[in-house]
Amino acid sequence: MVGTIREIRSALVGMIYGKATLRKNPGGAVVLKMTHSEREKEYLEYKTQIIQSMFGYEFKVRSFDNNGYPGVELVTRNHARLRSLYPVIYKNGKKQFTEKGLKILTPLGISLWYLDDGSLSYKRREGKIHGRELTLNTYCSEAEARLVKIYFEEQWDIHWTVVPNKSWWRLRMGATEGRKLISLIDPFVTDCMRYKIDLKLKDTASATAPDIPSG
């Protein structure tokens, strides 16, 4: 069930591995911040509904101007569960993928991670589509990317390929493995984000359009 403590904890990790950030102040308080483009407001509201019960108060998604781009964001209050997750995901103030953090994930958390930082694109040859690729934009060290790869293989029998991207690393897979990932996360993909798992989608641009920076 999505409302269980385990699932909410998994959802939080998936969000933080994606676009969300944890912010810790000098006094030790930790808050969660999520930022999206205006066109993903419905998706942000979907994410807030998943974690709403943990906080005990009504979230308010606010609109703002992000350097000329209309955006929406949510900032929670300090919470003990956020404080407990901070050292699992952050080291010296920087987000990192760790075995401990990955083990918290359930299909719900994986779906939010992919919907935040994943993309679906077409491979073309001489102007014709000959394949599809799913990418998980981890933008991390090679060691972290390989740790994520091993996690998916051992826990879900899903196989990514680790690929370089400038000075960072990310993960990529073809349609065969992609169908396995999609089957795992499909029950948790809200309608407004289903273009990211639609292997029959004809509009590549809509499947890979970049979001605004999460800050």
- Domain boundary assignment for the chain: 5-98, 113-208
What share of the chain has pLDDT > 90, as a percent? 79
Q: What pLDDT, on a 0 to 100 scale, did the predictor assign at position 215?
A: 36
Query: Do the domains 113-208 and 5-98 match in fold?
Result: yes
pLDDT surpassing 90 at residue 43: yes
Query: pLDDT digits over 151-200, tens only?
Result: 999 999 999 999 999 999 999 999 999 999 999 999 999 999 999 999 88
CB atoms within 10 A of CB 75: 15
161 closest CA partner among 134, 139, 196, 122: 134
What's the CATH class of domain 5-98? alpha beta
pLDDT: which is higher, 171 or 123 = 171
Which carries the bigger pLDDT value, residue 201 or residue 79? 79
From residue 126, how far is each of 48, 119, 130, 131, 203 by CA, in Å?
A: 43, 22, 10, 13, 18
User: Residue 205: what pLDDT?
Assistant: 45
- CATH level 3 topology of 113-208: Endonuclease I-creI (3.10.28)
The arithmetic mean of pLDDT across residues 9-35, rounded, is 97
pLDDT higher than threshold 80 for residue 129: no
